[in-house]
Amino acid sequence: MAFEGLTERLQKAMRNLRGKGKVSESDLRATMREIRLALLEADVNFGVVRKFVKKVQERAKGADVLEGLNPAQQIVKIVDEELTKMMGETAVPLNKSDKIPTVIMMAGLQGAGKTTTAGKLALKLKDEQKARPLLIAADIYRPAAIDQLQQVGAQVEVPVFSMGTDVDPREIVEKGMAQAKEDHNDYVIIDTAGRLQIDEKLMDELKDIQEMVHPDEILLVVDAMTGQNAVETAEGFNDALDITGVVLTKLDGDTRGGAALSIRAVTDKPIKFVGQGEKLTDLDVFHPDRMASRILGMGDILSLIEKTQKDYDQKQAEEMAEKMRENTFDFNDFLDQMKQIQKMGPLEDIMKMIPGMANNPALKNVNMDPKDIAHIEAVIYSMTAQERENPDILNPSRRRRIARGSARPIQEVNRMIKQFNSMKKMMNKMSNGNMAGMENMMNS
C-alpha cells in the first residue's frame, strides 16, 4: 500500500506530542526532526523537505502553538495544510480548447504507463463529458505500442488512428489531426514515443509535434514507484517541453511517496491525475488536500464519498443512511451492503479511505472475495427472520445452529458477527457526522 511507511512515521512523530498540554521548544524540535527524517526516507526531494520543515516550524511558533490548548492537534493541522500546499493546494482541471478538437499530448518514459493512461483518459472523457475522442498512435519505437493502443481503444470503444511503424510520427500526427477534423472528434489524445531515458532525438521529435499541433494539454506520465527518478524525469521533460500537467501512475503500488510529494514543488507543474490500478477505470483526479490526509493516515473520506456516489445505488444508500441514524441496521442490510461494496471494488481499499481506518490492523483480515460473500450469504440465510432483524439475540447456541445450517465453521460465524458489529458501529459514527479523522488520530 502506498505511503505506508511514511504514514506510520509521521503518525509516530506526532504521537509524541499527544496528551501534552504544552509543547516545549525541544518537543517541537524533536517532532520536526522525526518528520524531516520520515519525508527523506520516503524519498522526498531534499530541498522540498527543508522548505517544508522550515515552514511548519515557523507556523507552529507563530501560531502560539506552544501555549495552545491542544498543541498536538494544531501541529497535525499545520502539517496537513503544508503537505497540501506542497502538492499544489487544489485540483487542477484538464485544459479545454474553445475550438474543436482539444488536443492532449501524452509524454513520458517507456513503461511509465503512457499508453494505458491515454486509454484511461479517453474513457474518462467519454464517460464524464460524453466526449468523442480520437486516439493517435504515434509511438512507433516501442514494439507493440501501437497494438496495445489499439487494444485499449477497442476496450473503451474509442477509435485509434494509426499508420503502422514505418511512418514518421510527425506525419502520423498530421494525418491523425486531419482525420479528427473530418470526423468531428472533440478531443484528440496523442500517444507519443517513450524511451528508456531522456535523449535528444526523442525530445526533438516531441518538440516538433508540440510545434505542429500546439496541444492544449501536454501531460507528462511518470511512474510513482520510481521516486526521485520520477522527479528528475519530470524536470528533464519540463525543460524541453511546455508541460501543462503530470499524471502520476502506479499509486496503487507500495510507493514511498517521494514523487507525489516533490513533483509539484520541483517542477511547478500540477499533478492532474493519478493512476491507481491497471484497469482502464483506475484514473482519478488528483486532489492535494485529500492526498495529504491520506498520507497522514487520516483517510480520504471525500474520495470515498465520490466513489460511493458513482457506484452506489443512491436510493438504497439513502435508506441505509436512515437505518444507520436510527440504529436499526440489521443482517438483511448487512447482506445488501456487502453486495454493494463488492460492486465498488476491494473492501480493503475502500476501508482505507475512512479516517482512522488507514492503519487499522483489523483491516488485514478483511478480505471480500466473491466466495466470502457467498459464505456470508449462507450464514445469513441460516438465521431466522427474527435473528436477522435482532442480531443481539445471537447467543452461542444460536450461533452453533447457524454454523451447522450454513456448513460454515463456528469461528467464521463468530467472525462475521463481529464484522457486522464493527461495521454497524462505524456506520453509526459516520452517520453522526463523526468524520474528524484528526480527532480520531490524536485520540486513538
Residues that constitute the known binding site: 108-115, 191-195, 249-252
Q: Which is nearer to ligand GDP, 177 or 225 (CB)?
A: 225
Longest dimension (CA), the chain: 77
Residue 279, C-alpha cell as written in the block: 484497469
Q: What's the closest the beta carbon of residue 233 comes to ligand GDP, in angstroms?
A: 11
Q: Which is nearer to ligand GDP, 121 or 402 (CB)?
A: 121
Q: Which is nearer to ligand GDP, 74 or 249 (CB)?
A: 249
φ and ψ of 327, to 5 deg: 60, 35
Angstrom distance (rounded) from CA 37 to CA 41: 6
SS3 assignment, position 391: helix
Angstrom distance (rounded) from CA 220 to CA 376: 45
Q: What's the closest the beta carbon of residue 104 comes to ligand GDP, in angstroms?
A: 15
Residue 229 makes CB contacts below 8 A (sequence gap 6+) with none
Angstrom distance (rounded) from CA 333 to CA 196: 52
* Residue numbers belonging to the annotated binding site for GTP: 108-115, 191-195, 249-252
Q: Which is nearer to ligand GDP, 217 or 252 (CB)?
A: 252
Q: What's the closest the beta carbon of residue 291 comes to ligand GDP, in angstroms?
A: 15
Q: What's the closest the beta carbon of residue 383 comes to ligand GDP, in angstroms?
A: 39
State the Cα angle at 45 between 40 and 51, rounded to 5°.
90
Beta strands at 217-223 and 187-191: parallel, antiparallel or unpaired: unpaired
Q: What's the closest the beta carbon of residue 247 comes to ligand GDP, in angstroms?
A: 9
Q: Which is nearer to ligand GDP, 108 or 227 (CB)?
A: 108
Q: How does DSSP assign 187-228, residue by residue?
A: EEEEE----SS--HHHHHHHHHHHHHH--SEEEEEEEGGGTH
Beta strands at 271-275 and 283-285: parallel, antiparallel or unpaired: antiparallel
* Site for ligand GDP, rule CB under 6 A: 108, 110-116, 142, 148, 194, 249-250, 252-253, 275-278, 282
CB 108, CB 196: distance < 8 Å: no
By C-alpha distance, which of 348, 341, 351 is closest to 317? 341
Q: What's the closest the beta carbon of residue 183 comes to ligand GDP, in angstroms?
A: 24
Q: Which is nearer to ligand GDP, 246 or 383 (CB)?
A: 246
Residue 4, C-alpha cell as written in the block: 505506508
Q: Which is nearer to ligand GDP, 284 or 289 (CB)?
A: 284
For the chain, how far is it from start to end, CA to CA, in angstroms? 22
Q: Sign of dihedral through CA atoms 352, 357, 358, 361?
A: negative
Q: What's the closest the beta carbon of residue 205 comes to ligand GDP, in angstroms?
A: 15
Return the residue nearest ligand GDP (CB atom): 275
